[in-house]
Chains A and B, each alone.
Chain A
Amino acid sequence: MTNPNFDLLMWARTTGFDIALAIMVGGILLRVVEIVVLGRKKDLARPKGNPVAQGLKTIFTRSLPRKGMVKEAPVTYVGGYLFHIGFAVAFLFLGAHIALITDLTGLGWPEANKALIETAAAVAVVALIALAWTRFSNPVRRMLTTFDDWLVWTLSILPLVTGYIAVNKLFGDGTLMMAIHMLSAEALMVAFPFTKLMHAVTFAMARYYNGSIQGRKGAES
């Protein structure tokens, strides 16, 4: 007898994935266009520095904390880095993920070993939990936190946890767990353009604008 969950997994792999991908790509394009069409007036002040070069540079340099800042909010900084790095490693270097990306884009790269992937996923999960804790315990973060933040948090942790369970066949039916893993990733994809997950794309715009505004004045960014 065939596993009844098999159909669900197949749907998640094919139709479900295609729908999620279409919403994500279309949604991101829409959101980016929504921003860009608002335009920006040409700056008529004679530049002192190079706005374009500094804008581009700031996209990268702003990834590093400013001197002395980490000690002001250690959990947010360290948790933030560990989550982003852990998530990226688990997502980009697992063999099955690479195969999927190759399928879509033709691009490929070597996979990492299982221990590294699992450590990365575990680190990302612990970091997310620590970050959630600061959203309760730190008054500033508590005030700023909205439903959107919790939704994004949940959508980020689910693929990590379900992936770990599915790969290691920890419990439940393996096929079902894999289907759930795929569906959780698809939920993240669908929500991406309409939540703060968008920052993963628009950070480059924000940093560019910041750097170019400061750069024109010959000021640091």
Chain B
Amino acid sequence: MTATLERGLNALREQIDAPVASFFTTCVSCGLCAEACIFYKETGEEKFTPIHKLDLMRRLWANEYTLLGKVKSLLGLGEKITDADLAEWETLVYDSCTMCGRCTLVCPVGNDITLMIRKMREGMSAAGHAPKELVGAAERHSDYGSPMGDLHKALKAQIAHAEKETGIPIELDREGADYMALLSAQEIAEYPGVLAAMSRIFRKAGITWTISTEGFEATNVGVQLGNRDVARTLVSRVVAAAEKLKVKGVISPECGHAYQALRWEGPNLIGKTYDFEVVHIIELLDRLRAEGKLKTKGKDDTRLTFHDPCQINRRGGINREPRNLLGLVAENFVETEDAGTMNWCCGGGGGVGANERAADLRFKAFNRKKRQFEAVGAEKVVTMCAYCHHTLEEQLEEHGMEELEVEGLTELLAEYLDDED
């Protein structure tokens, strides 16, 4: 056995706990999870069955964590895991799973398959079987502060731009502000308009906020790659920045996995409950709406639909909030089939979007969304994750649907903000 294989198996062993054992014990191989998975549904290839993607982890569990398996292993009968197996499973675990969570909600016995994929990636990456793009992004993120490299300069330029546009200063590193806002690399690079939008909305709502130059990047490639050490380092930066500035809350931006990483995995990665609140930007905006602090005037009258980011809705519990907000500003809002908790993934989540090798597969997977958008005759798609936004634009272009506009919800709200004094 090679050293990397052993390291991978050890990392995998660390992930096996009571829930995992109960899930593998309970699986009745009914195959229903396949019916929930966009990769199986749009390709018809049975190897994309969710539980099959975990077969190596199941083998390890069966061999080492069950009495019968231990007896079999003693007799030399247990099915071994080899480096070749890991190489084969790499594409199943990384290219054909966006960790969207649909399978988890469909499995009749209640297996949280998605959670197990997240866990299996810990073993795969430790064994050196992870896509090179994710490994590279993790290195850049750890060394330079973002998966796209050092974004300090770009951030400052975008802030200056937003200040000029709105006439409202954005104070960096302001101690004692109500909130410390985070951004995703995608927003800084591609959708910086969100800065001006937040600036105007928060000023009108009477909220003080700041951005830390020591921890402004919300994304966390560690949770996509499956590397707890990287994930912990990245979360720690944000936590340290928030503690230093003594803010009441941290705003998780329009980014799916960032919310998952920071709000739900973060405390477990660093081993303590935060003493500040983490709130998703859309959660916060809906709160402001309910308190009467977010007033709008006029409405967007295009035929507009909403794309639920998997990590924010299905795996994050934010479902009503964007719809409440759309109610304020959308005249012609129409839901696609399965919208809400069971929405289909854009195909770019879980690191799949960054993975070149997976490009054809994710384009194929998008056919589902394409049909759904066409069925409701959408003219605009609104979402609340910058990476979904990016993926949707990429996919729509690939499918010859560029005329379908994509917009972030925060920016849409700001367009109709009633901020006259």
Contacts and interface: CB of A to CB of B under 8 A. Distances in A.
Interface string B43-74: 00011010110000000000001111000000
Interface stretch (B12-20, B128-136, B399-407): B12-20
Interface residues on A, range: 35 or more
A34 B31 contact: no
B40 interface: yes
A206 B314 contact: no
Given A72-B35, A207-B109, A217-B317, A43 B268 contact: yes
A196 B25 CA distance: 7
A46 B273 contact: yes
Interface in A74-88: 76-77, 80
Interface residues on B, range: 35 or more
B110 interface: yes
A58 B21 contact: no
B341 A35 contact: no
Given A41-B17, A69-B106, A144-B51, A213 B115 contact: yes
B27 A196 contact: yes
A74 to B, nearest CB: 11
A65 B35 CA distance: 12
A129 B277 CA distance: 54
Max chain A C-beta neighbours (<10 A), residue from B16, B34, B104, B266: B34
Contact of B316 (A73, A141, A209, A217): A217
Contacts of A37: 18
A143 B17 CA distance: 26
B18 A39 contact: yes
Contacts of A219: 313-317, 319, 341
A143 B67 contact: no
B27 A143 contact: no
Interface stretch (A7-15, A160-168, A197-205): A197-205
B35 A73 contact: yes
A35 B21 contact: yes
B268 A45 contact: yes
Contacts of A31: 25, 66-67
A139 B45 CA distance: 8
A73 B317 contact: no
B68 A66 contact: no
A45 B267 contact: yes
Contacts of B51: 144
A143 B271 contact: no
A76 B32 contact: yes
Contacts of A65: 108
Max chain B C-beta neighbours (<10 A), residue from A67, A138, A202, A219: A219
A76 B28 contact: no
Given A38-B16, A211-B110, A213-B115, A145 B29 contact: yes
A99 B273 CA distance: 54
B191 interface: no
Contact of A217 (B18, B49, B315): B315
B338 interface: yes
A174 interface: no
A95 interface: no
Nearest to B312: A219
A217 B108 contact: no
Interface string A184-203: 00000000001010110011
B337 to A, nearest CB: 8
B23 interface: yes
Given A45-B268, A76-B32, A144 B52 contact: yes
B19 A44 contact: no
Interface in B89-138: 104-112, 115
Contacts of A149: 28-29
A221 interface: yes
Given A66-B105, A206-B110, A219-B315, A144 B49 contact: yes
7 contacts: A38-B16, A41-B268, A44-B273, A141-B30, A203-B109, A203-B110, A220-B105
Interface of B: 16-23, 25-32, 34-36, 40, 46-47, 49, 51-52, 65-68, 104-112, 115, 263-268, 271-274, 277, 313-319, 338, 341-342
Interface of A: 30-31, 34-41, 43-46, 48-49, 58-59, 62-63, 65-69, 72-73, 76-77, 80, 138-146, 149, 194, 196, 198-199, 202-203, 205-211, 213-214, 216-221
The 9 closest A-B pairs by CB, nearest first: A207-B110, A218-B317, A219-B317, A144-B29, A44-B267, A72-B35, A140-B31, A209-B19, A205-B22
